[in-house]
């Protein structure tokens, strides 16, 4: 019988800092606040974004995130994209250079809030660079990336590295399992995956390599999924892959 995995290292794939426009009970306004919460829960590192990237302006939110995480090696940045055809956002080469300087290794999009379509026509040049450099695109279903748009994007760019997140806890397998079946570089953030026996079933069917620990903090409590993974009836190597090994590998393949 697998053990509870007491010595697991956790690398959070889904956390943000800042105060959302719609209030939540316990936000983490600063990187220091997030680190205090991580220490309380035993989370080693986090891939983090700033809520101003969604609620205010991506360019300003990206800069705010870079300033917040600069002193903290345990935090890796995730910026937000805008269409590169507009002068408000840097061209791909400039973006890559800025990401390298700011310790940013992944990107997000919020199409509904920022008024564009998640399509090849909108993001072609930057998507080509992301594909070449293995930069992950994080697609939050609840924050404006509907399943149809995700499927359409991957149909046109099947080699793109994508992390699907924030998909809700009811019946998500029917949405994301076909993506795991067809696309080698699609990963699932488990922050919303509240299904009895679900982790065991995914590992049995796909192995552990496509699954990432995410806390969903500060919308969700970090310890819930930590406990689910610790007590899942899977091997210790699989648990370690999910809690940190897979995200380490994905971000380690990024070339900036």
Could you read off the pLDDT tens digit of each residue along the chain, which spans 256 residues?
Answer: 444 556 899 999 999 999 998 878 889 999 999 999 999 999 999 999 999 999 999 999 999 999 999 999 999 999 999 998 888 899 999 999 999 999 999 999 999 999 999 999 999 899 999 999 999 999 999 999 999 999 999 999 999 999 999 999 887 999 999 999 999 999 999 999 989 999 999 999 999 999 999 999 999 999 999 999 999 999 999 999 999 999 999 999 999 9
Residue 86 exposure: Cα atoms within 13 Å on the Cβ side: 11
Sign of CA dihedral 84, 90, 92, 95: negative
Q: Which residues neighbour 44 within 8 Å (Cβ) at sequence distance 6 or greater?
A: 9, 10, 11, 38, 74, 244
Distance of CA 233 to the CA centre of its chain: 25
* Per-residue model confidence as pLDDT tens digits over 135-186: 999 999 999 999 999 999 999 999 999 999 999 988 799 999 999 999 999 9
Q: Which residues of 164-193 are buried (b: 16+ CB within 10 A; e: fewer)?
A: bbbbeeeebbeebeebbeebebbbbbbbbb
**What SS3 state is found at 163?**
strand
Domains of the chain: 11-252 (3.20.20.140)
Q: Which residues neighbour 136 within 8 Å (Cβ) at sequence distance 6 or greater?
A: 105, 106, 107, 161, 162, 163, 187, 250, 251, 254
Residue 178: in which H helix or E strand, if any? helix 173-182
| Backbone dihedral region for residue 162 (phi beyond 0: left; psi -120 to 50: alpha; all else: beta) | beta
Beta carbons of 173 and 150 less than 8 angstroms apart: no
**Whole-angstrom distance, CA of residue 106 vs CA of residue 114:** 18
């Amino acid at each position: 019988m697998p053990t509870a995995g007491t010595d697991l290292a956790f690398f959070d794939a889904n956390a943000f800092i800042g105060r959302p426009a719609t209030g939540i009970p316990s936000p983490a306004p600063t990187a220091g606040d997030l680190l205090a919460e991580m220490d309380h829960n035993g989370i080693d590192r986090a891939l983090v974004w700033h809520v101003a990237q969604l609620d205010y302006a991506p360019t300003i939110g990206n800069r705010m995130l870079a300033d917040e995480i600069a002193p903290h090696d345990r935090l890796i940045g995730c910026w937000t994209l805008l269409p590169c055809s507009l002068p408000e956002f840097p061209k791909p080469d400039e973006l890559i250079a800025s990401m390298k300087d700011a310790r940013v290794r992944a990107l997000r999009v919020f199409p509904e809030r920022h008024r564009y379509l998640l399509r090849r026509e909108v993001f072609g040049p930057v998507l080509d660079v992301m594909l070449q450099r293995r930069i992950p695109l994080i697609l939050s279903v609840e924050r404006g990336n509907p399943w149809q748009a995700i499927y359409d994007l991957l149909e046109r760019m099947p080699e793109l590295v994508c992390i699907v997140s924030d998909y809700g806890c009811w019946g998500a397998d029917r949405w994301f399992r076909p993506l795991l079946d067809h696309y080698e570089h699609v990963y699932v953030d488990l922050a919303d995956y509240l299904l009895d026996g679900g982790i065991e079933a995914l590992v049995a069917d796909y192995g552990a390599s496509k699954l990432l620990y995410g806390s969903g903090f500060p919308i969700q409590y970090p310890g819930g999924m930590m406990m689910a993974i610790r007590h899942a009836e899977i091997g210790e190597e699989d648990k370690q892959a999910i809690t940190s090994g897979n995200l380490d590998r994905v971000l380690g393949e990024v070339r900036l």
